[in-house]
Amino acid sequence: MNYSKERLLQFTKSVFLSCGMPEADANLAADVLLSADMRGIDSHGVARLSGYIRLQEAGRANMNAKHKVIHETPSTATVDADQGLGLVVAPKAMDIAIEKAKQVGTGWVAIQNSNHFGIAAYHAMKALPHDMIGISMTNASPLVAPTYSKERMLGTNPICMAFPSGSQQPFIVDMATSNAANGKLEIAQRKNKEIPLGWVQTKNGLDSVNANELKDGGSLLPLGGHKGYGLGAAVDILSAVLSGANYGPWVPPFVAFLNPLENLPGNGIGHFLGAMRIDAFRPAEDFKKHMDQWIIRFKQSQRVDENQEVLIPGEPEFRLQKERELEGIPLNPQVEKDLQELAQKFGLNL
Amino acid sequence: MNYSKERLLQFTKSVFLSCGMPEADANLAADVLLSADMRGIDSHGVARLSGYIRLQEAGRANMNAKHKVIHETPSTATVDADQGLGLVVAPKAMDIAIEKAKQVGTGWVAIQNSNHFGIAAYHAMKALPHDMIGISMTNASPLVAPTYSKERMLGTNPICMAFPSGSQQPFIVDMATSNAANGKLEIAQRKNKEIPLGWVQTKNGLDSVNANELKDGGSLLPLGGHKGYGLGAAVDILSAVLSGANYGPWVPPFVAFLNPLENLPGNGIGHFLGAMRIDAFRPAEDFKKHMDQWIIRFKQSQRVDENQEVLIPGEPEFRLQKERELEGIPLNPQVEKDLQELAQKFGLNL
């Protein structure tokens, strides 16, 4: 069954309100989650709602967090998220980055003491209406093994860059730094299907096509080999070593049934956000005109298969968003059941 | 035969001087090229020297270029390289970024009207002695096909990020955004060996293990599939759409025997550089202490094969550099012949 965006938005907001989140924050957190469902990143939308609630119940997420700027320069800030949800602090920190970019050309914010921030694209895309380039990244619970290692040391550590355009849709690259995100494994598990070689390795570091390998102690593999390891590691360092959050194997797990390690080197998980004003480099109209030309030329590049068009990063998500605005969001039965349990728990209607 | 760094440095400088480059610029350009040879990135060192000279002869490189800041804000600048070598303008532009970072926390410089800038790591690593994070990227002649396309639309568009550490060697990730760089194909060609699946496709977009595929109209494939396409595209946009350089298929070829296309949308090729002061986010000593802990922990992560240690990005290059400081730089016979021809041409001794 499909649900309208509005209905799931209201429900999500009500759940957060029931957990003691202030109204403005509940609006924001719900908007971030629903943006994932609308863009077709179903693994990062309302499917995670109960996970955030369980984090609160485990005493690991503060629904009434007051973030604080603990250090700053004209173009930078470091933010302590007060153990709040990344869903709430990341958009607010992006506002700080945008404000700094207005003043001095660019703004960069490192965030510590946070929790999962939803889809990276939401935060980066906040820069677009300001004619700015937006950048967002985060570290995450360790699932990915470095090259030559069989130990889970890095999260899928996504990075997003959003570029404004003129008449064309903006260019949005939003990617995990592993070959496959956990969500893709879960789909294969549900369908009982094999996965492509290169996505995972066994707990002994051997190749595997088993979608359940992670549950058996295996690990995800970095994007394209050692380069993806380097890239995911850089995201970890920018998000956490720079902000004062936990890094590498010390990143606290998103799932509440696993406890964080002891003697942590930092606070919570970390994010890193940036905003660059286009006209700090060249007139925004010139940039957008050339972005349009870039996009049009790439769309026209010669196809391998005439029936498969060449896509611009972000294009599939914009299409899905249009589709879901008309047809609503299809929830898988497990997620629907999950939301119904939340409804019951808090005395709400889904 | 091995050559000492000093000998090749002097020779390279003399060649640039013979082409009319001012002494300070010749020193800089030679230093950038030799840093590649010392780090073992042989494809980007003196092996390219004759290529730069041929670009000058084709009227496409200005050895006496005077770069100009054409736009700036407190944290940004756009630089016109005056058709000079990226080898010369990129380190100077990095100095601008570092100066801005000293003032307002971070500095970002987009460069247009340039030529090939050598190894990305040289420029990013200039930030390290200042306790800054360095970032460098460039676009390049189109060799890589977007996902679902068989047309060469992007360069191997490398990106480098350099992070300072304390007692450990700095963390340097320097990577092309294609699965394989052209240099790796050339090695396979010389050895007459097959290459792994995923590096190239035929001119019709089919899988291939033929190291000569590029010569036959094929294309390189982006790192790990569509994510690498998105990442390489973002490097193209930051380097060129933002600076006013040429982008995508319009990037002028490095080889002088191929002419640039007509009706170019920008000037020369483009680079993008950044410097972020660590203590714009947290005290540099804290960051470096945690970088050391990051590096030591990753080195200790469980190995797949007890005899193959886990490497930190940049570690192989630091080792090779130490080795070559002692033993000199081994030149392959083709490169040696190339340099001897340059010696003859300019009346120099190699």
**Residues B158-205 pLDDT 10s:** 999 999 999 999 999 999 999 998 778 887 887 889 999 999 999 999
Please indicate whether, in this complex, the C-beta atoms of B75 and A78 are within 8 angstroms of each other.
no
The confidence band for A47, taking pLDDT boundaries of 50, 70 and 90, is: very high
Do B175 and A230 count as a contact with CB atoms less than 8 A apart?
yes
Over residues B67-95, the mean pLDDT reads 98
A310 with B148: Cβ contact below 8 A: yes
Question: What confidence tier does B57 reach under pLDDT thresholds 50, 70, 90?
Answer: very high
CB-based contact B305 A148, cutoff 8 Å: yes
Name the residue of chain A whose CA is nearest to B222's CA: A224
Q: Alpha-carbon distance A145 to B303, whole Å?
A: 10
**A123-182 residue pLDDT tens:** 999 999 999 999 999 999 999 999 999 999 999 999 999 999 999 999 999 999 999 987
CB contact under 8 A, A73 and B104: yes
- In total, the C-beta contacts within 8 angstroms joining chain A to chain B are 243
Amino acid at the residue A225: G
Q: Which among A73, A175, A281 is the nearest to B76, CB-wise?
A: A281
Smallest Cβ–Cβ distance between B173 and the set A150, A163, A231 belongs to A231
Judge: A229–B313 Cβ closer than 8 Å, yes or no. Answer: yes
Give the mean pLDDT of chain A: 97
Task: Give the right CATH number for B66-178+222-280 from 3.30.1370.60, 3.40.190.10, 3.40.47.10, 3.30.300.30.
Answer: 3.30.1370.60
- Is A110 in Cβ contact with B146 (below 8 Å)? no
Sign of CA dihedral A51, A54, A60, A65: positive
CATH numeric code, A1-64+324-350: 1.10.1530.10
CB contact under 8 A, A76 and B229: no
Q: Is the pTM of this model over 0.90?
A: yes
**Which of A199, A236, A241, A250 to mutate: most B Cβ within 10 Å?**
A241
**Percent of chain B whose predicted confidence (pLDDT) is above 90:** 95
Give the single-character DSSP code of A141: S
For an interface test with A, give the residue of B71, B72, B75 to mutate (most A CBs within 10 A).
B75
pLDDT tens, residue by residue, B58-73:
999 999 999 999 999 9
Domain boundaries, chain B: 1-64+324-350, 66-178+222-280
Query: Which two tokens mark A219?
Result: 């690990």
CA angle in degrees (0–180, nearest 5) for A311-A312-A314: 110
Spell out which residues of chain A touch residue B301, defining contact as CB-CB under 8 Å.
Answer: 145-146, 149, 151, 153, 249
Tell me the C-alpha distance between A45 and A268, whole Å.
Answer: 21
8 Å CB contact between B179 and B222: yes
User: Please, where are the H alpha helices in B192-283?
Assistant: 226-236
Evaluate whether B162 touches B142 at the Cβ level (below 8 Å).
Answer: no
A66-178+222-280 shares the fold of A1-64+324-350: no
CA distances from A344 to A34, A133, A306 (A): 21, 42, 51
**pLDDT single digits (tens) B109-143:** 999 999 999 999 999 999 999 999 999 999 999 99
Residue of B nearest to A202 (CA): B304
